[in-house]
Structure 1
């Protein structure tokens, strides 16, 4: 009788176990907490101020996140390899002012050509960082801190007190940040395409997976035959290209570009990547998480403004998020390492 009862009960337990097993990969996603935090933030803000999710409000949220999303994708490629680029704001500023200069000199130039020139300019600036890091073997933090000021100085010398305004560019170029497709701003769709393309590259190609191997253990990656310097240089080039793309889109999005364009943006970009689950110590994270982190940070600013919270608290909350993300990542890494040691001890 007891065995019969047990056999009847056991089928009821199996589906539950299978359900948890199926859900486990989703629950372990590093991006899940970011998505939950973003959802809660949007819902709470909407309940306080319903205009927050009006058609124009949603459009503004997406536009505000677009530039940071693209920059965060490029930054993620570097952070995963245990590198960083503090000069992305300066690269964006140079390319944005260069975009204004191109339209001032050649008003009839095709817009696609401006994008190509801007991204090529970004690649050149990214190559400067990449070559100094990989050839001179100087830490990326030191190199890019220096080029941050070098590139900013070049922009100051080039621009001086001059600014290019919305009226100096073709209407079709400015329309990229005004026109929508299926309710999404055109430049936001560009950012989404970038995120998807890079995410597929990172997960579906050998060079993309090599970046994770380099970040996890550079020496082991070298021993395994991975060309570490080449991969890191390519990551800097890709980051430069994306910063160039962001610079062109910035010139379309905002009313003016000048010597100070992009100042301080590098900190927001790094924060977006870290908050989005990219490990600051390298080896893990995703560009999808970085994009969500960018959306979360810009949404925090917008939501706190919508509920009329002082700007100081906006910055404080962002700082708390960064600290929390780093601490949680570090604790998770230590727990994983402990479990690995216990497992190895048992196998011995």
Structure 2
């Protein structure tokens, strides 16, 4: 009996000393991602001195702004164990409708154009959220169907035609090209979204409930959390951000097309995965998602500067995403294993 007690007493410190490196890594995942971004930046700068110029950094931040805004919404969706494949189509639909309204009403206030885009996005996201929360349709099925429907609506509304810069007002185009105190409006809008999302996730009851639903839906239900309301909210927020991004996209590129942002949802999901968001739900940090979007933006900008062929650019990005998924999986398993051992002790 005494020997048994000694063994149990001695096992505690030994297990603590042998904590998995991967388990510890989970606490500093964002720091590691930041370090990786800095290493890549230094390497590219050594190969091409134009990479870290003020002008190029400004371009990278501007080009990454829309991606990071969408990634914030996608993070909330993934946290609830869902996915949204329709955001590219929602973006295109919102952008096309707003572009047509602006072309027929040149005096329209740019803020009203932004509000219109957000409303369209929320409506689209609300439909998807209702299908998933009320009817119990799988997120991947509901959003895939919505993607085709919204994309079809975009082509129908536009009659297959483009809307170009000469059909848009100068004030509307300034949303994507103008600046405030030397900072592009796109970056300013993205920073506002980050601040609101940070407060919502960390300092509101609803923000905590979103993570509770993703971590353990059954326990959340027992605690009185309405999964239906949470899912409807999350997909509506995702839709609203996609609608906003549609306005920003059309203003930035001065063009509205039926195939705008086709396949862009995959880049958004990739940014979330790189940032450490678990597809299994329940975990993900805003800082990681932003860094994931920045990493993708850096790769898109740096690889052409290094004269890497387009095929290899896609392959390299895919390899980095796969590596991130493997690391995240190993980290999660290691954390779960250590938690299980602690409970047994």
1:60 and 2:46 matched: no
- Alpha-carbon distance between aligned partners in 2 of 1:53 and 1:339, rounded to the nearest angstrom: 42
Taking structure 1 as the reference length, the TM-score comes to 0.89
2:265 matched residue in structure 1: 266
User: Residues 42-191 of structure 1 correspond to what in structure 2 (within 5 A)?
Assistant: 42-191=41-190
Taking structure 2 as the reference length, the TM-score comes to 0.90
2:342 matched residue in structure 1: 343
1:244 and 2:240 matched: no
- Alpha-carbon distance between aligned partners in 2 of 1:31 and 1:279, rounded to the nearest angstrom: 14
Gaps of at least 5 residues in structure 2 are 1-22
Q: Is the contact made by 1:195 and 1:288 (CA closer than 8 Å) also made in structure 2?
A: no
Distance apart, 1:319 and its partner CA: 1.3
Q: Is the contact made by 1:30 and 1:285 (CA closer than 8 Å) also made in structure 2?
A: no
Q: Which moved more, 1:221-230 or 1:83-92?
A: 221-230
Q: For residue 50 of structure 1, give the secondary structure of its aligned residue in structure 2.
A: coil
- Alpha-carbon distance between aligned partners in 1 of 2:216 and 2:26, rounded to the nearest angstrom: 26
Q: Which moved more, 1:72-81 or 1:172-181?
A: 172-181
Q: Is the contact made by 1:199 and 1:286 (CA closer than 8 Å) also made in structure 2?
A: no
The CA deviation string for residues 80-135 of structure 1, in whole angstroms up to 9 with x for no partner, is: 11011000000000011111101111111111111111100000000111000001
Shift in alpha-carbon separation, 1:141–1:27, aligned structure 2, 3 A: closer
Q: For residue 52 of structure 1, give the secondary structure of its aligned residue in structure 2.
A: coil
Q: How many residues align?
A: 323
Q: Is the contact made by 1:218 and 1:228 (CA closer than 8 Å) also made in structure 2?
A: yes
- Alpha-carbon distance between aligned partners in 2 of 1:297 and 1:104, rounded to the nearest angstrom: 33
Q: Is the contact made by 1:216 and 1:282 (CA closer than 8 Å) also made in structure 2?
A: yes
Q: For residue 29 of structure 1, give the secondary structure of its aligned residue in structure 2.
A: helix
Q: Is the contact made by 1:129 and 1:236 (CA closer than 8 Å) also made in structure 2?
A: yes
The CA deviation string for residues 302-330 of structure 1, in whole angstroms up to 9 with x for no partner, is: 10011110111111122112222222122
Q: For residue 30 of structure 1, give the secondary structure of its aligned residue in structure 2.
A: helix
Distance apart, 1:25 and its partner CA: 9.4
Q: For residue 317 of structure 1, give the secondary structure of its aligned residue in structure 2.
A: helix
User: Residues 12-31 of structure 1 correspond to what in structure 2 (within 5 A)?
Assistant: 28-31=27-30
Q: Is the contact made by 1:26 and 1:32 (CA closer than 8 Å) also made in structure 2?
A: no
Deviation >6 Å, runs of 4+ = 24-27
Q: For residue 28 of structure 1, give the secondary structure of its aligned residue in structure 2.
A: helix
Distance apart, 1:255 and its partner CA: 2.7
1:326 matched residue in structure 2: 325
- Alpha-carbon distance between aligned partners in 1 of 2:320 and 2:217, rounded to the nearest angstrom: 29
The CA deviation string for residues 62-83 of structure 1, in whole angstroms up to 9 with x for no partner, is: 1110111111111111001101
Q: Is the contact made by 1:212 and 1:283 (CA closer than 8 Å) also made in structure 2?
A: yes
Distance apart, 1:216 and its partner CA: 0.9
The CA deviation string for residues 152-175 of structure 1, in whole angstroms up to 9 with x for no partner, is: 111111223311112222212222
1:228 matched residue in structure 2: 227
Q: Is the contact made by 1:72 and 1:287 (CA closer than 8 Å) also made in structure 2?
A: no
Distance apart, 1:288 and its partner CA: 2.4
The CA deviation string for residues 245-273 of structure 1, in whole angstroms up to 9 with x for no partner, is: 11110111103111111101010010011
- Alpha-carbon distance between aligned partners in 1 of 2:29 and 2:155, rounded to the nearest angstrom: 40
Gaps of at least 5 residues in structure 1 are 1-23
- Alpha-carbon distance between aligned partners in 2 of 1:304 and 1:322, rounded to the nearest angstrom: 15
Distance apart, 1:181 and its partner CA: 3.0
2:294 matched residue in structure 1: 295
Superposition CA RMSD, Å:
1.6
Q: Is the contact made by 2:125 and 2:239 (CA closer than 8 Å) also made in structure 1?
A: yes
